[in-house]
Amino acid sequence: MNLLLDKYKRQSRYTYLMHRPPLKHCRVCGTAVVYRLPDDGDTKERAVCPACATVHYENPLNVVGTVPVWGEDGGQVLLCKRNIEPRWGKWTLPAGFMEMGETTAEGAARETDEEAGAQYEMQALFSIMNVARVGQVHLYYRARLLSTEFNPGHETIEARLFTESEIPWDEIAFKTVKETLERYFDDRRKGRFGIHVLDIA
């Protein structure tokens, strides 16, 4: 773990990822765009380049992560204490923005490597949550930990296991993480894991 990421850098990355900067210029030629209906029958105003005619679309992004669990009965869950904004110092499941060229499961595994440095086996998709307000879809996979040694990267202050009763429910970074954790422990009690689809207000 390290605390080298200074507050300015954490904040600027946060600003980009949570609120993409306004699209004012064409990504192809740099000319200032105008917002209008495109000529192709589209019914929404888009950023259109008056020079090269490129139409720029903005679409929701996926956040992918895991619920890494330890023990024969999966009684403990690995949480990471965030070293980045937003929610610096709060606890989260390992997760982050899906990258080009990877599947949702590959992205979830990469984020688990980066944020927890854990040894694990990927399991089934567990939760799919729409966060329409910020243009995001969050997807969590279950993962079975193979060791209790963690080697978290620079985005994590501390990574540790929690039983259900130990989880710091008031210190959880995001509603999607809280909802996923609640469903994990519910399903564990039932002895059967489903795929949970929900909308987060």
Judged by the rule CB under 8 A, the positions of this chain that interact with a second copy are 4-5, 9-10, 12-13, 16-17, 21-32, 38-42, 44, 53-62, 97-106, 124-125, 128, 130, 132-133, 135, 137, 153-155, 195, 197, 199
Q: Are 146 and 133 in contact (CB under 8 A)?
A: no
Question: Could you tell me if residue 98 is left (phi over 0), alpha (psi between -120 and 50 degrees) or otherwise beta?
Answer: beta
CB of 124 to a second copy, least distance (A): 7
Residue with smaller CB distance to a second copy, 20 or 169: 20
CB of 192 to a second copy, least distance (A): 13
- HSE (CB half, 13 Å, CA atoms) of 197? 0
- Asked, as a colleague might, if the bond just before 22 is cis with ω within 30 of 0, I would say no
CB of 121 to a second copy, least distance (A): 16
Residue with smaller CB distance to a second copy, 11 or 119: 11
Euclidean distance between CA atoms 15 and 41, whole angstroms: 33
CB of 189 to a second copy, least distance (A): 21
Residue with smaller CB distance to a second copy, 70 or 140: 140
CA angle (35, 39, 44) in 5-degree steps: 50
Question: Could you tell me if residue 12 is left (phi over 0), alpha (psi between -120 and 50 degrees) or otherwise beta?
Answer: alpha
CB of 53 to a second copy, least distance (A): 8
Residue with smaller CB distance to a second copy, 97 or 169: 97
Residue with smaller CB distance to a second copy, 171 or 186: 186
Euclidean distance between CA atoms 53 and 76, whole angstroms: 54
